[in-house]
């Protein structure tokens, strides 16, 4: 028996191509995921006359710029020529290089972090590099998955590898049963509140504990998705029976004898008893309440039962200055009960909360109710949309007054034309409440899908538990 190892150690070790004396490792990349903004990488390949090493290990997704309306008109339906150009470019680049594209017009199209797992492209034990910081999502299936910039995308295209220095490890253990009305989104917001927006810089997080074990794969994806909002390189969860059940039968999943070999391997990818982490963090599930952000960093988060914090009670002047600025941007006064804050719009979707389970949560809450403010629901993929419609959720949403859109990143990143107007306040299930993230001057409050649904029907931030509904 060797030294006890973490899942991360096991995955890392299996992917080491070579190590330099100075400690840098050339790491094999199983799968590369790209999106429209990766065009610089293909330009660079052409400019430097390089060959794409393994086109079969690259998957491209049209998600950041695709419209969420008028999809029957295809690319021609995109009015803004610059946006249209981005969608045309990913089509042309993937065609030229022989890469699989989940593009506009393909029913499987959707947000890369939703489609990858949905198609079985994401599997335990893989090293996945993605041209998007929320690539950490894929760790929910027991993969080591991380976001990279365009230079690294180009490097993977040309070499199927990346130079990396081994990151530190952090275990975030959440124990117990999440209370009524509390979801995976609230759990990860509570983690970020505890460790801060830079709390996990340089670390890979392993989420563990009975709360995580009891979560659906969709819930684990929500948790891993926001690892980057705590600064982590990646977040992951040990694959288990729930993971195998989720993957089985998906288009890219192994079958027959391959399946048996695959799960035999996947079962070895757990953290050994006694394996050491560089840092351990513990949370008690029963202490987590539905969470809402009040400021402009995901760490600016409090339970919905709370009030907007008071900067002059902050421990240091720097923190005070940051809070002052955030409150000025958000147009909020210290001491205001969160549930008294009215919202102008509601956005439900994104790679954090655009999966079928999220939409079911919303449907349970809004059934028989009416929206008080404009509210849109953007499914994470065409297949999520299809599934929701098969379950009749679209009719519940329509009856309640929601707009039911087509799949894409939409108002989470606000570059396809879906965006807030200056000063507009939005209850959002997305992952970043940065200044201007959802449109210049837009004000974002992050929360779970059921909390966003509750805000939609009341017109103000609302404790979902007051409406008698859980998550």
Partner 1 sequence: MEPFTRLTAVALPIDQANINTDQIFPARFLKKPRAQGYAAYLFHDIRFNRDGTEDPAFVLNEPRYRKARILVANSNFGCGSSREGAVYTLQDFGFRALIAPSFGDIFAANCVKNGVVPVVLPQTVAAELRHQLRMSDDPMVTVDLVQQEVAGPDGRRYEFAIEPFPKHCLLNGIDEIEFTLQHEANIAAFEQGYRADFEWLFRSRPEGGSTDS
Question: Binders of partner 1 among 145-164, rule CB under 8 A?
Answer: 146-152, 154-155, 158-161, 163
Instruction: Tell me if 374 contacts partner 1 by CB under 8 A.
Output: no
By the rule CB under 8 A, 360 interacts with partner 1: no
Per CB under 8 A, 243 contacts partner 1: no
Site string for partner 1, 22-51 (x = CB under 8 A): xxx-x-x-x------x--x-------x-x-
- For 172, 181, 468, the CA distances from 465, given in Å and listed in that order, are 26, 6, 5
Looking at the Cβ atoms of 220 and 322, the one nearer to partner 1 is 322
H helical segments located in 37-171: 39-47, 81-97, 112-119, 150-159
Task: Indicate whether 322 belongs to the interface with partner 1 (CB under 8 A).
Answer: yes
- For the chain, the C-alpha Rg in angstroms (whole number) is 21
Beta bridge mates, 203: 168
Nearer to partner 1, 40 or 279 (CB): 40
Binding of residue 273 to partner 1 (CB under 8 A): no
Q: CB nearer to partner 1: give 371 or 410.
A: 410
Q: Is 314 in the site for partner 1 (CB under 8 A)?
A: no
393 contributes a contact to partner 1 by CB under 8 A: no
Measured torsion, CA atoms of residues 172, 174, 179, 185, in degrees rounded to the nearest 10: 30
- Number of helices (H), then strands (E), in the chain: 16, 19
Overall size of the chain counted in residues: 471
Residues numbered 100-129 forming contacts with partner 1, rule: CB under 8 A: 100-101, 106-108, 118-120, 123, 126
Q: Which residue has the tokens 């049963």?
A: 177
Tell me how far CA of residue 284 lies from CA of 179, 289, 290, 310, 386, in angstroms: 11, 11, 14, 26, 37
Q: In angstroms, rounded to a whole number, what is the distance separating the alpha carbons of residues 210 and 218?
A: 16
Minimum distance between the CB of residue 359 and partner 1, rounded to whole angstroms? 16
What is the C-alpha to C-alpha distance for residues 430 and 449, in angstroms, rounded to an integer?
Answer: 9
Is the distance from CB of 102 to CB of 61 less than 8 angstroms? yes
Residues of this chain, 178-197, that bind partner 1 according to CB under 8 A:
197
Nearer to partner 1, 24 or 280 (CB): 24
Cβ at position 22, least distance to partner 1 in Å: 4
Least CB distance to partner 1 at residue 43 (A): 8
Task: Give SS3 for 19.
Answer: strand
Distance CA 104, CA 110 (A): 9
Phi, psi of 119 (to 5 degrees): -90, -5
To partner 1, the closest distance from the beta carbon of 339 in angstroms equals 27
95 interacts with partner 1 by CB under 8 A = no
By CB under 8 A, tell whether 278 contacts partner 1.
no
Position of tokens 């760790």?
A: 139
Is residue 216 part of the contact set for partner 1 (CB under 8 A)?
no
Stretch 400-459 residues interacting with partner 1 (CB under 8 A): 413-415, 422, 432, 434-437, 440-441
Residue closer to partner 1 by CB (options 219, 442) is 442
Conformation bin of residue 196: beta by default, left when phi > 0, alpha when psi is -120 to 50: left
Pattern 46-75, partner 1, x by CB under 8 A? --x-x-----x--------x----------
């Amino acid at each position: 028996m060797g030294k006890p190892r973490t899942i991360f150690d096991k995955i890392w070790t299996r992917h080491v191509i070579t190590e330099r004396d100075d400690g840098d490792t050339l790491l094999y990349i199983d799968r590369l995921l790209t999106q429209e903004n990766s065009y610089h990488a293909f330009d660079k390949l052409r400019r430097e006359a390089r060959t794409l090493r393994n086109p079969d290990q690259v998957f491209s997704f049209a998600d950041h710029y695709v419209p969420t309306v008028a999809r029957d008109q295809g690319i021609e339906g995109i009015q803004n020529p610059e946006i249209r150009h981005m969608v045309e470019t990913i089509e042309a680049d993937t065609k030229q290089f022989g890469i699989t594209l989940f593009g506009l017009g393909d029913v499987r199209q959707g947000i890369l972090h939703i489609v990858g797992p949905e198609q079985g492209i994401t599997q335990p034990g893989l090293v996945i590099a993605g041209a998007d910081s929320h690539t950490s999502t894929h760790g929910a299936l027991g993969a080591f998955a991380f976001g990279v910039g365009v230079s690294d995308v180009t490097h993977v295209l040309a070499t199927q590898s990346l130079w990396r220095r081994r990151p530190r490890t952090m275990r975030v253990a959440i124990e117990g049963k999440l209370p009524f009305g509390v979801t995976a989104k609230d759990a990860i917001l509570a983690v970020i509140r505890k460790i801060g927006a830079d709390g996990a810089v340089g670390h890979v997080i392993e989420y563990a504990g009975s709360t995580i074990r009891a979560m659906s794969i969709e819930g684990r994806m929500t948790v891993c998705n926001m690892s980057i909002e705590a600064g982590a390189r990646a977040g992951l969860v040990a694959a288990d029976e729930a993971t195998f059940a989720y993957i089985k039968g998906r288009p890219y999943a192994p079958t027959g004898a391959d399946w048996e070999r695959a799960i035999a391997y996947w079962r070895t990818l757990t953290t050994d008893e006694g394996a050491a982490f560089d840092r351990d963090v513990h949370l008690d599930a029963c202490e987590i309440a539905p969470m809402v952000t009040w400021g402009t960093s995901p760490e600016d988060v409090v339970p919905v039962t709370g009030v907007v914090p008071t900067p002059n009670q902050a421990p240091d002047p720097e923190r005070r200055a940051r809070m002052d600025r955030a409150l000025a941007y958000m147009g909020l006064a210290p001491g205001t009960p969160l549930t008294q804050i009215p919202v102008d719009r509601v956005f439900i979707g994104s790679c954090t909360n655009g999966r079928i389970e999220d939409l079911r949560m919303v449907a349970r809450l809004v059934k028989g109710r009416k929206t008080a403010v404009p509210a849109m629901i953007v499914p994470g993929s065409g297949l999520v949309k299809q599934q929701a419609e098969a379950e009749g959720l679209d009719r519940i949403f329509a009856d309640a007054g929601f707009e039911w859109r087509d799949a894409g990143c939409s108002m989470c990143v606000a570059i396809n034309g879906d965006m807030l107007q200056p000063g507009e306040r939005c209850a959002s299930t997305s992952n970043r409440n940065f200044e201007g993230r959802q449109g210049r001057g837009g004000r974002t409050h992050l929360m779970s899908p059921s909390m966003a649904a509750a805000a939609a029907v009341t017109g103000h931030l609302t404790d979902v538990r007051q409406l008698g509904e859980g998550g």
